[in-house]
Amino acid sequence: MDLFTDLFSAQLVIAGQAILWREVVGNLFGFASALGGMRRRVWAWPVGIVGNALLFTVFMGVWFNNPQEHSLFGQAARQVFFIATSVYGWWRWNRSRKGRAPGAPAITPRWATAAERGGYLAAWVAGVVVCQWVFAAVGAGWDAPRWYYWTDAWIFVGSIVATYAMARGWTDFWLAWIAVDVVGVPLLWHSGYYPSAILYAVYGGFVLAGFVVWRRAARLEQEVLVP
């Protein structure tokens, strides 16, 4: 137990700022999952779940005596929803992979239909309105300004939408991640979660590349499917 506790609490110090190794490792798992997602590999989902579990313990600092001054409850809660959505994505991609050639991508990407896109955008807007109210009612454990709850709600709901869209194989999910990152990077940096902020900034460039790859695959592979 002492070894586990030491590993769980291990930190590195950069420019006087204590950073948990769990935050670094959790984000590396997240990046590996994103790489697998771009390549449409089923293993992306279980790898992502491991990263989500680690990052939950990071953002729920009030429970785990983390060095950051602030806990990010919305960020922590979204890790739970990530895990649930990832189980669905894992199942869906496994089912899609059946009948395909060995080594072939698990899914054929496509754009969401107009109805599907309208549905997830409406859910995103409604979810942000409801979640910011819930987060504000619960409180952040510190004297958070009102804008904090709106940004946390945007990131929370947008991340769920993006993960669900990835599970469905919609190319739109890359654009949803860009919208999340635009708000998420400044919030993470402001709150002292520097490894997460830096990785999400780097991830923004990766997301753009993934979008190009999926858009091309959606066009070429759909052309093959259409007689």
Residue from 174, 149, 134 nearest 38 by CA: 174
In total, how many domains does the chain have? 1
Of 120-124, 202-206, 216-220, the range with the highest mean pLDDT is: 120-124
Percent of the chain exceeding pLDDT 70 equals 80
Look up residue 97 and give its amino acid. Answer: R
Neighbour count for residue 74 (Cβ, 10 Å): 25
25: containing domain: 2-225
Q: Which of 68-82, 111-125, 142-156 has the lowest mean pLDDT?
A: 68-82
Residue from 144, 20, 157, 13 nearest 77 by CA: 157
- pLDDT category, 34, cuts 50, 70, 90? confident
Cα(134)–Cα(123) distance, rounded to whole angstroms? 16
Instruction: Look up the pTM and report it.
Output: 0.78
Round the average pLDDT of the chain to a whole number and report it.
82
Cβ atoms 46, 112 nearer than 8 A: no
Q: Is the pLDDT of residue 209 over 80?
A: yes
Alpha carbon distances (Å) from 135 to 57, 128, 151, 211, 216: 18, 10, 11, 31, 39
**Beta bridge pairs of residue 189:** none
Q: What tokens does 1 get? A: 């137990």
